[in-house]
Amino acid sequence: MGKGGDKLFQKRRAKTKEDLARRKAILAERRRVLIVCEGEKTEPLYLKALASNLGLTALDTEICGDCDSAPINVVQYGKKKLKSDSEFDMIFFVFDRDTHDSYKAALSLIEELQSHKKFKNKTIIPITSIPCFEIWFLLHFEPHNKPYTASSGKSPCGKLISALKAKVEFKDYAKGSHQYFDLLSNRLPQAKINSANTLRQSLQAGELEHHGNSTTLMHILVEELEKLAEEQKR
């Protein structure tokens, strides 16, 4: 190779190094999000469709539904993920209150993670729903903070799902059968408003951690993902 060829090769190699350095810098700036859901497919399917609609990729957002429905197992699974991959900036734990015995223990474990010095630079948030995730679907149609209790062989979540099935769009609803985001996407802005308002009303009524009336923190997760998507576009 002559001198001209050498110079061209060196320029190309330098440019390749610059491109790689630039790509690494861009990736380093991207915030990474971990979302750990209950084992049912409903939540992961919905959230994956939401993330895709926002233009978020696996580089930005990892959504796991590989643990069973016990809240404590959701948090313990996420804790293991954090230990194996410390590069996540935000971690969300998505689980229901319903009749789960480990609900309060799961919240306590999240508080431990939040206060752990190893995770001091991370945002760790429980995204809980009372009685269950399906309240988020119902809030796409109307404000709804009715309390549900177990009776007639149905859990609080079972009762709420019966109310959801009264909507034409959900008359054949079954957990994990569909991702439902496309069906509801045009109602998302109203769902966020309804969700925030019902939560505020419950807290004003003195309900600690929204344990009473039907509420959810899903609007917080959706808004954080929307912010992340906007960041990645800039």
What is the tens place of the pLDDT at every residue in 111-141?
999 999 888 899 999 999 999 999 999 999 9
Model pLDDT, residue 159: 94
What band does 26 get if pLDDT is binned at 50, 70 and 90?
A: very low
The per-residue pLDDT of the chain, averaged, comes to 86
Helix axes 218-233, 188-204, angle to 10 degrees: 130
Cα three-residue angle 175-178-181, rounded to 5 degrees: 110
Which pTM does this prediction carry?
A: 0.84
Single-letter amino acid, residue 59: L
pLDDT of residue 210: 45
Q: Is the pLDDT of residue 20 over 70?
A: no
Segment 188-208 mean pLDDT: 86
Angle at 184 between CA 182 and CA 190, to 5 degrees: 140
Check: CB of residue 107 under 8 Å from CB of residue 126.
Answer: yes
Q: How confident is the model at residue 14 (pLDDT cuts 50, 70, 90)?
A: low
Tell me the backbone φ, ψ of residue 153, rounded to 5 degrees: 80, 5
What sign for the dihedral angle of Cα 207, 212, 214, 220? Answer: positive
